[in-house]
Structure 1
Amino acid sequence: MYQVSLFRLYVLRALYLLVFIALGVQVWPTLLAHSKPFEFMHGVEICMLAAFSLLCGLGIRYPLQMLPVLMWELIWKTIWLAIIALPLWQSNQLDEKMLPNVFAISLVVLVYLAIPWPYVYSHYVKKQGDTWRKTQ
């Protein structure tokens, strides 16, 4: 099995901390101090981001065990950039309102750099999965 270096663990912890603080500053005040009911999808978004921030807080302590959380972030942001932002950019339809979102979501490159890919390969691709039924 691939052994993750202490340096890489600190890089992961720094990434988890960055997300934890950034979402803590942006999401939690909105969630806790709202004065009127949220629209459905906005409420879902805020609650999902709040949960994600808490899981990133847990990732500071358990950086490898919480890798699936970072992988989820990496996957949804990559899909959004490829399916939503790229076609808009190619057709010159990216407006000033969407540009800050594109920039923020494109910071997913930090996740690509922080994830220890050999570890991911050895633990999520190469490693035998859990059993599907009771064995004798």
Structure 2
Amino acid sequence: MNESKPTAKMNEVSLFRLYLLRSLYLFIVVGLAIVRWPDVIQLVFYQEKPYELMEGVVICMLASFSVLLILGLRYPLQMIPLLLWELVWKSIWLISVALPLWTAGQMDEATWAMAYACLFVLIVPFCIPWRYVFAHYVKKRGDRWR
């Protein structure tokens, strides 16, 4: 079978780009450690009254996200799909939720806070090695189905 493979040049990601990815992973991990891990600790050890359903889901998802991003420090290229997920969900939320509220002049304080937090996603596209992503997720032949 002739399986199309990306060329060696397309596979190359500069050391600078790898450190840029690692820096982004570390930035997100530290940010979530400061903002969300205290909530996890409180949830597990000190919570007298349970969180509401979605609040608990968000706390747990972001905590697991930060744990997985720690792997990005060692394997920056293999963890790119997590950054793509982050980029996509925040972009969808900003476009479909925040933008209509903002244009209608109906942004409340909580929505502004979420929009501000989501705007950090603007640094993600500058850190992702897009040639690598294109070569490995678009151009490369997918795994067989049978």
Shorter chain as denominator, the TM-score bin is: over 0.9
| TM-score scaled by length of structure 1 | 0.94
User: Does residue 39 in structure 1 map to residue 52 in structure 2?
Assistant: yes
| TM-score scaled by length of structure 2 | 0.87
Query: Which one of 109, 126, 132 corresponds to residue 139 of structure 2?
Result: 126
Which structure shows the bigger proportion of residues in helix conformation? Answer: 2
**Per-residue deviation at 1:111?**
0.6
Report the secondary structure of 1:130's partner residue: coil
The higher-RCO structure (CA 8 Å, 6+ apart) is 2
Identity of aligned residues (%): 54
Q: Runs ≥4 in structure 1, deviation > 6 angstroms?
A: none
Point out where structure 2 has 5 or more consecutive residues left out of the alignment: 1-6
**Number of residue pairs matched?**
133
Q: Over the residues paired in the alignment, what is the CA RMSD in angstroms?
A: 1.0
Write the distance in 1 (CA, Å) between the matches of 2:115 and 2:57.
Answer: 20
Write the distance in 1 (CA, Å) between the matches of 2:111 and 2:132.
Answer: 35
**Per-residue deviation at 1:81?**
0.5
User: Does residue 17 in structure 1 map to residue 30 in structure 2?
Assistant: no
Deviations 1:5-37 (A, max 9, x none): 100000000000000001011111111123121
